[in-house]
Amino acid sequence: MLEYLQNLLELSQQDLLITVAVVFIAGVVRGFSGFALSALIMAGLALIIPPAALFTICLVLEGVASLLLVRGGFKNADMRIAWGLALGGIVGTPIGLYITASVSPDISRTLALCLILTLALLQLFSKSPPFLATRPGLYISGLVTGLATGIASVGGMVVALYVLSQDAPPARMRATLIMFLFINMFAWAAWLTIGGFVDTLALMRALSLAPVALAGILIGTLLFKPSLAVFYKRFCLLLLMGLAAQGLIRLLPNL
């Protein structure tokens, strides 16, 4: 069975085991936090699978996660925030892609990650900018999300920072993130299709890894219970800081 999967997915035994482990852990985190599946997969598998192919894999696995979690999202989410961020992101993404053509990707990604790390640190110590809680802050955050997606592929982390800045119960913050990702999934699919990133091997890998991600998501969802939900915001902020720091460390040799 293992050899069959290796041949089907064109991965060595070691790479296959690492891929399965990363996807499972990313699923657990997505199930608990409501986000970060794609960020963890990109961070953990970029040296095994080309990033362009990972876009398709992440899209399919995010789709699996969204379809599984969307029911609870509809029930608990702040849809005003989810739609505001999503619409701003749709407008900002093509602008970010245009800017990418004239700005060094490494420099732009470094600036974006430094901003995320700083804002997450401020939130961790309850120093979040009051502007984020206003209506203009919502739409500007959505626009920045799109710009960050187009320039540095870190838009989801910007959304998480905005949602976490709200004075809301953990269940509502998590559900809002779930609904944003569900709405955004359709725009992301369109951009990947237009950009020609979808290929047969990537789809095969994604479909084969879907049950692994699903198992992780279910476990993560079970972990989101009252006794652990109190740690939700701190866990998410530390996760964002870890992802940003990891991204900056990987970029250092290129600067």
What is the Cα–Cα distance from 75 to 216, expressed in whole angstroms? 22
Looking at residue 105, what is its pLDDT? Answer: 67
Indicate whether 100 pLDDT > 70.
no
d(CA 200, CA 162) in angstroms, rounded, equals: 36
DSSP 131: G
Tell me which residue range forms the domain holding 132. Answer: 2-254
Mean of the pLDDT values across residues 15-19? 88
pLDDT band for 158, please (50, 70, 90 cuts): confident
241 close to 113: Cβ distance less than 8 angstroms: no
- What pTM value is reported for the model? 0.83
Residue 177 has pLDDT above 80, yes or no: yes
What is the b/e burial string over 160-199, where b = at least 16 CB atoms within 10 angstroms of the residue's CB?
Answer: bbbbbbbebebbebbbbbbbbbbbbbebbbebbeeeebbe
Provide the CB-side half-sphere exposure for 80 (13 A, CA).
7
- Asked if 44 and 22 count as a contact pair (C-beta separation under 8 A), the reply is yes
Mean pLDDT within 84-110: 77
Domain count, the chain: 1
Q: What is the pLDDT of residue 11?
A: 82
The encoded tokens of residue 81 equal 């925030």
Distance CA 246, CA 210 (A): 25
Q: Single out the residue of 43, 106, 93, 75 nearest to residue 194, CA to CA.
A: 93
Q: How confident is the model at residue 73 (pLDDT cuts 50, 70, 90)?
A: confident
Rounded to a whole number of angstroms, the CA Rg of the chain reads: 17
* Residue 197, phi then psi, degrees to nearest 5: -85, -15
Q: Residue 255 — very low, low, confident or very high, per pLDDT cuts 50/70/90?
A: low
DSSP H/E element including 122:
helix 105-124
The percent of residues in the chain predicted with pLDDT above 70, rounded, is 92
Residue 196 DSSP one-character state: T
Please determine, for residue 4, whether its predicted confidence score (pLDDT) is greater than 70: no
When the pLDDT of each residue in the chain is averaged and rounded to a whole number, the result is: 83
